[in-house]
Amino acid sequence: MVIIIVVCPDFSDGCSNPGTTKENLALKSGYWRVSSTSLNIFECPIKEYCLGGLIYEQCPEYHYGVFCLKCNNNTAKRKDGNSFCEICDDKSIEQDKSRINLAIGLSILCFILLNIGYLTYRLYPLFSI
């Protein structure tokens, strides 16, 4: 059974073309659906992630899943404001390692300084009689 769309819903993009069915229904940008056989259309919480179009076109490159929120293998979202998935290259991995090493080094330095201060206080009290 083929369902032919007669009225063009707000979330669709060009469904008034002859021969448009739910299987080839293109969505407007900012909307998402789970499959080409579903007419349950959802507004995306992050509109930029849902490109619209046909079911196989609806997510940006390296994105997939519900509302296109997940990243493909070997991709990730940056914390520096770029919220799209991108390939994890050697440069970004090295930068992350450097940041982690710096944080560990500063933590060790703070631990040493706090212990020196504590030992100094214990060995040489401020108020001795």
Q: What are phi and psi of 89, to 5 degrees?
A: -90, 170
Judge if 7 and 20 occupy the same domain: yes
Whether the model clears a pTM of 0.95, i.e. scores above it, the answer is: no
pLDDT of res. 89: 72
d(CA 47, CA 39): 19
Range of the domain at 97: 89-129
Residues 67 and 123 in one domain: no
Same structural domain, 21 and 59: yes
User: Is pLDDT above 70 for 107?
Assistant: yes
User: Are residues 97 and 128 part of one domain?
Assistant: yes
> How does pLDDT run across 10-27, given as a tens digit for each residue?
677 666 667 777 788 888
Q: Is the domain of 99 the same as that of 79? A: no
The count of domains in the chain is: 2
Judgement on whether residues 98 and 70 belong to the same structural domain of the protein: no
Mean pLDDT computed over 82-108:
79
pLDDT score recorded for residue 19: 76
Q: Does residue 122 or residue 112 have the better pLDDT? A: 112
Q: For tokens 């069915």, name the residue.
A: 21
Contact between 58 and 51 under an 8 Å Cβ cutoff? The reply is: yes
